[in-house]
Structure 1
Amino acid sequence: MTTPYPFSAVVGLDELRRALLLTAVSPAIGGVLVRGEKGTAKSTVVRALAALLPEIAVVPGCRFACDPAAPDPGCPDGPHADAAGVDLRRAPLVELPVGATEDRVVGTLDIQRALADGTKAYEPGLLAAAHRGALYVDEVNLLPDHLVDLLLDAAAMGRAHVERDGVSVKHAARFLLVGTMNPEEGEPRPQLVDRFGLVVTVSAPRDAGPRAEVVRRRLAYEADPDGFAARWAADERDLAGRIVAARALLPSVTLPDAELDRIARICIAYAVDGMRADIVVARAAIALAAWHGRTVVTGDDVRDAARLALPHRRRRDPLDPPGADEEKLEEALNEAGADPEPEPPADDDPSGGPSDDGPPDGGPPDGGPADRPDGGGTGEPPPPTPPPAVGNGDAAEDGTPPPAGPGREQKVPPAPVGAAFRPRTLTVAGRGEGAHAGRRSPAFARRGRVVGARAPIGRRGFAPHLPATLRAAAGRGSRTVEAVDLREAVHVGREANLVLFVVDASGSMAARQRMRTVKTAVLSLLRDAYQRRDRIGMITFRGGEASTVLPPTSSHEVGVARLAELRTGGRTPLAAGLRSAAGVIASERRRDPRRRPLLVVVTDGRATSGPDPLTVTPALAGTSAVVVDCESGPVRLGLARRLAAALAADWMPLDRLSASAISLRTV
């Protein structure tokens, strides 16, 4: 077995190392979620933590690591009242791979004993192996939903409840949950994120010195792992000893009422949901004090704990720009950081004088930026100034006049985006192959909820359904399993799709209030695609051409930014937009043939430039689509409905986009 990279040899990543050490001191904090780009040593640091975890005392022979001082009365290997002696084990660090099956996670029927002895016995899974240790999930955001449900249940109750394959077992499962993820690949479910006590975002160093030191140490470790580890052995022993000392000091640490009040004010200012945030910040602050050898929590402990425990707990729009949580947190810390002051005397002037929020006109003092650490008076960055649109010399189709002269710029800003709503769930009918885990369209899958069993259909590598296989053999009156008895498990779930938006940005859509409505609808669909883990793309058409403003990506935040910058004007080259969509879909099918596309065309159906759009629709044959009809007014031509018929797509008026689910036809 290769010697793990030493924890103390990691360069930088101070917040991550602090968070992991705090959870090692106080597992009640609830674990750590590590977010960061690829190649930032997330997995290396987490695996290195295993060498620092103190040994645990267990009942001899217990597969569930029961504590001899307080054995689990419901342990499947119990009762342990007469157990003699104590075994010492290294606290486990169990890795849960993304591709793990449900029976491997929670345990299942012991097939060997069932076949050999004819007895029904339980074989523990990874949750049992992680009890009193740590459970590490790499790429936790890619974990299938049914496994997320199992983790949520175990984390909430501290016990695993297994009901499968004729086995009914309950056992203790209290573990430190550590997960790593790359945000570019999508976000995990909010319920799972909330179960992590601390969240840390890591990135590669931007200075040449630290980067060179990272490479130097990595090369030295790869050349001689044992020798490299030996050079850091003293530092590793110091850290391990400090963890043991901090654990011993932890019960003696007190949290003064003033600091508890500070925690409450920070959480209120940050607008967190529920009370879990307050409890986690308090536990983390106590652990910080114990780590530093103090018996009283200070204000600095509270602030440092809040920076680790709160950024992921604010109620937020999932498509907020990156960094918004950190800015809001710093504002909350500044607002609640000072000790409460007595209320000032009542002011006879009802209009009020200058306050901490700035001058009466709401601007920064002296016409400059507000004097705040984040550089803004509200804690939010100012909105970007959009570039001016250049007129094309033609009057817009809604009657808006062209620029006043040749070469003059049209200074009209883009239409704003309203508050998103919950849209209808657009799904692709039929069942896909489930190659991409998600929550949009129904699909068969290699993993997922087991709904039955069937004879193998010829493909290799199927997941056998063991109880059904044994029943088939028993039905033949045989005590041995033969090929004819094999049964495969049938898994069903949902898959993610490629959702491609084709948005009409021509002059026929340029009425400001109308375009606001369209942008709001597209924003709502973008948020829905984010929540369902889809890839998204966006094409707009105006003037004489179509533009792929967002190639297919998993970065939904970029889609929101492109939507906010979207301007309108010029003629309507609808055929060009559809042709571009056909090209993007064909390219994505070559790259990933098992991801099914969903085309969403947002238009009023008018085409005032280029060929008839109906001549392009054959290129989109076989693509599930929906046409969102933006036509308004008392006189309607029904062009969008005709386009939907040519595409074999569902037609939906814009004002009916929010409601219950709708199923799309496939050709």
Structure 2
Amino acid sequence: MVVDDKVYGALERRYLVKNLRKTLKFRGPASRGRRIRRNGVTGSGRYVKARLPGKDPAPVALDATLRAAAPKQSRRRELGLAAEGGVSIRPDDLRHKVLSRLTGASILFTVDGSGSMGSEEVISHAKSVVLSLLTDAYQKRDRVGLITFRGTEAKVALPFTTSVELAQKKLETLPTGGKSPVALALAKSMEELAREIRKNPGRIPFFIILTDGRANISMAGLDPFEEALKEARRVRGLGIRTLVVDTDFTWIDSFPYARVLAEEMGAKCLRLADLKAESVLDFVTG
């Protein structure tokens, strides 16, 4: 596959994800670290609202409890349930705190290094996108993992870590060429994500796969693309936020393999040629 140099010139000027941190909205020093806000009733965090008691233990929201009890005091005094000058608190008055805290992400990058990716230029630009995202992940204290696939293998090039430097080194030496075992890559990715979720349940998992989707080898003797679609449906079942970056530059006159794969995964799909910093950040921060 030959891609016109003008396409890559446009990529360099407009589409490479550079200096992603500038596009994030910060709200003071606390936002310099972890980027994702989660609400809960346990652990630490900022008290943001109250709720009715649930099954999980939680700190009492005294202000909301008193507000719930206040209109009932006159009637309770009439019934002898509250002393003059006192406040009667009953179980149905109780309100629990909802706490908001910033937490990090666990982002798995799965990169297609097969010969179906075409030229070295395409792979080079795919690497550039991931490297820029890794820089942003480092600034947010996210954990990142890296899987590469080609030939008959999908390898965990880097288990989840906060060391972005290690991820960069692994990516820069990514070997290329050979068949494209997409189904195997998806299966391996889900294994690694499941392991990370068990190990760090408080983090938000993200799955970003860069591929043209052109599966051409099966591990089970099936049609390679049908096997990939089967694994894609398993990804959807896990409910993990997923992004497919389509690296195919021949989308005008070819079957949209990556897009169909994304649809089966319930994933967002962006073409590498259309990639903008805002699009990727919306995915990770939204």
Common fold by TM > 0.5: yes
Structure 1 residues 423 and 506: CA distance shift in structure 2, 3 A: farther
Structure-1 separation of matches of 2:119 and 2:21: 23
Structure-1 separation of matches of 2:248 and 2:282: 21
Structure 1 residues 527 and 598: CA distance shift in structure 2, 3 A: same
Match of 1:616 in 2: 231
What secondary structure is seen at the aligned counterpart in 2 of 1:616? helix
Contact in 1 for aligned 2:209/2:245 (Cα 8 Å) = yes
Deviation per residue, 1:377-424 (Å, 9 max, x gap) = xxxxxxxxxxxxxxxxxxxxx59xxxxxxxxxxxxxxxxxx8834289
Alignment partner of 1:439 is 2:35: yes
Structure 1 residues 490 and 497: CA distance shift in structure 2, 3 A: same
Match of 1:489 in 2: 97
Match of 2:56 in 1: 459
What secondary structure is seen at the aligned counterpart in 2 of 1:490? strand
Structure 1 residues 457 and 576: CA distance shift in structure 2, 3 A: same
Question: Which structure: larger Rg?
Answer: 1
Structure 1 residues 481 and 560: CA distance shift in structure 2, 3 A: farther
What secondary structure is seen at the aligned counterpart in 1 of 2:194? helix
Alignment partner of 1:518 is 2:126: yes
Structure-1 separation of matches of 2:18 and 2:142: 18
Q: Report matched runs for 1:54-65 at 5 Å.
A: none
Q: Report deviation, 1:443.
A: 1.8
Match of 1:631 in 2: 248
What is the alpha-carbon root mean square deviation over aligned residues? 2.8
Contact in 1 for aligned 2:48/2:100 (Cα 8 Å) = yes
Q: Report matched runs for 1:329-348 at 5 Å.
A: none
The aligned length equals 237
Alignment partner of 1:640 is 2:258: yes
Give the TM-score, by structure 1 length. Answer: 0.33
Choose which of 278, 282, 286 in structure 2 pairs with 1:662: 282
Contact in 2 for aligned 1:627/1:651 (Cα 8 Å) = yes
Q: Report deviation, 1:583.
A: 1.5
Q: Which has the higher contact order (CA 8 A, sep 6+)?
A: 2
Match of 1:448 in 2: 45
What secondary structure is seen at the aligned counterpart in 1 of 2:277? coil
Choose which of 474, 484, 508 in structure 1 pairs with 2:116: 508
Q: Report deviation, 1:481.
A: 4.9
- Amino acid in the other structure paired with 2:184: A
Structure 1 residues 576 and 458: CA distance shift in structure 2, 3 A: closer
User: Structure 1 unaligned runs (5+)?
Assistant: 1-397, 400-417, 427-436
Structure 1 residues 616 and 656: CA distance shift in structure 2, 3 A: same
Q: Report deviation, 1:578.
A: 0.8
Contact in 2 for aligned 1:423/1:659 (Cα 8 Å) = no
What secondary structure is seen at the aligned counterpart in 2 of 1:520? helix
Deviation per residue, 1:139-195 (Å, 9 max, x gap) = xxxxxxxxxxxxxxxxxxxxxxxxxxxxxxxxxxxxxxxxxxxxxxxxxxxxxxxxx
Structure-2 separation of matches of 1:590 and 1:635: 43
Moved over 6 A (4+): 423-426
**Structure holding more helix per residue:** 2
Structure-2 separation of matches of 1:619 and 1:588: 17
Alignment partner of 1:480 is 2:78: no
Q: Report deviation, 1:469.
A: 2.5
User: Structure 2 unaligned runs (5+)?
Assistant: 3-15, 25-32, 74-81, 219-223
Q: Report deviation, 1:652.
A: 1.0
Choose which of 66, 71, 75 in structure 2 pairs with 1:470: 66
Among all aligned residue pairs of Structure 1 and Structure 2, give the percentage whose two residues are the same amino acid: 37
- Amino acid in the other structure paired with 1:466: L
- Amino acid in the other structure paired with 1:472: A
Q: Report deviation, 1:468.
A: 2.1
Structure 1 residues 499 and 644: CA distance shift in structure 2, 3 A: same
Structure-1 separation of matches of 2:115 and 2:21: 26
- Amino acid in the other structure paired with 1:627: V
Structure-1 separation of matches of 2:102 and 2:168: 25
Contact in 2 for aligned 1:510/1:568 (Cα 8 Å) = no
Give the TM-score, by structure 2 length. Answer: 0.72
Structure-2 separation of matches of 1:489 and 1:625: 32
